[in-house]
Structure 1
Amino acid sequence: MIRVLIVEDQKIMQKYFEYIILQNPEFKLVDTVSDAREAVKICNYSAIDLVLMDVQTFHNHDGLTAGKTIKEEHPGTKILVVTSLIDPKVLERAKTGCADSLWYKDHGEDEICDVMIRTLNGEHVFPDVTPNVELNWITSGEISPRQLEMLRLYICGMSYSEIAKKMNCSTSGVRWNFQEMIAKAGYSCKEDLIAAALESKLIVTTLK
Structure 2
Amino acid sequence: MIRVLVADDQALVRGALAAMLGLEPDIEVVAQAASGDEVVALARASEVDVVLLDVQMPGKDGLEAAAELHAALPGCRIIVCTTFGRPGYLARAMAAGAAGFVVKDSPPEQLVDAVRRVHSGLRVVDPALAAESLATGTSPLTGRELEVLRAAGDGATVADVAARLHLSDGTVRNHLSAAIGKTGARTRAEAIRIAEDRGWL
| Aligned residue type for 1:178 | A
Q: Is the 8 A contact 2:185 2:191 kept in 1?
A: no
| Aligned residue type for 2:94 | K
Instruction: Give the 3 Å change call, closer, same or farther, for CA 13–202 of structure 1 in structure 2.
Output: farther
Q: What CA distance in whole angstroms lies between the structure 1 residues aligned with 2:21 and 2:72?
A: 25
Provide the identity percentage.
21
Pairing 1:6–2:6 present = yes
Pairing 1:178–2:177 present = no
CA RMSD of aligned residues (A): 3.7
Q: Is the 8 A contact 1:154 1:160 kept in 2?
A: no
Q: Is the 8 A contact 1:64 1:98 kept in 2?
A: no
Give the 5 Å matches for 1:63-102: 63-102=62-101
- 1:112 to partner: Cα distance: 1.2
Q: Is the 8 A contact 2:6 2:51 kept in 1?
A: yes
Q: What CA distance in whole angstroms lies between the structure 2 residues aligned with 1:66 and 1:34?
A: 12
1:162 match: 175
Q: Deviations over 1:112-149 (max 9, x none)?
A: 111111111110112456389xxxxxxx99x9658985
Q: Is the 8 A contact 2:141 2:182 kept in 1?
A: no
Q: Is the 8 A contact 1:4 1:49 kept in 2?
A: yes
- 1:68 to partner: Cα distance: 2.2
Instruction: Give the 3 Å change call, closer, same or farther, for CA 146–34 of structure 1 in structure 2.
Output: closer
Q: Structure 2 length normalisation: TM-score?
A: 0.70
Q: What CA distance in whole angstroms lies between the structure 2 residues aligned with 1:120 and 1:144?
A: 29
Q: Structure 1 length normalisation: TM-score?
A: 0.68
Q: Is the 8 A contact 1:85 1:202 kept in 2?
A: no
Which stretch shifts more, 118-127 or 146-155? 146-155
2:121 is paired with a residue whose SS is coil
Q: Is the 8 A contact 1:80 1:100 kept in 2?
A: yes
1:9 is paired with a residue whose SS is coil
| Aligned residue type for 2:43 | C
Number of aligned residue pairs: 179
Give the 5 Å matches for 1:19-98: 19-59=19-59, 61-98=60-97
Q: Deviations over 1:52-94 (max 9, x none)?
A: 11122134x2222222222222222111110122333221111
Q: What CA distance in whole angstroms lies between the structure 1 residues aligned with 2:182 and 2:71?
A: 42
Q: What CA distance in whole angstroms lies between the structure 2 residues aligned with 1:99 and 1:146?
A: 17
| Ranges in structure 1 where 5+ consecutive residues have no aligned partner | 133-139, 180-188
Q: Is the 8 A contact 1:152 1:203 kept in 2?
A: no
Q: What CA distance in whole angstroms lies between the structure 1 residues aligned with 2:68 and 2:16?
A: 26
Instruction: Give the 3 Å change call, closer, same or farther, for CA 144–22 of structure 1 in structure 2.
Output: closer
1:81 is paired with a residue whose SS is strand
2:112 match: 113
| Ranges in structure 2 where 5+ consecutive residues have no aligned partner | 153-170
| Aligned residue type for 2:36 | A
Instruction: Give the 3 Å change call, closer, same or farther, for CA 31–147 of structure 1 in structure 2.
Output: closer
Instruction: Give the 3 Å change call, closer, same or farther, for CA 78–48 of structure 1 in structure 2.
Output: same
Q: What CA distance in whole angstroms lies between the structure 2 residues aligned with 1:73 and 1:203?
A: 25
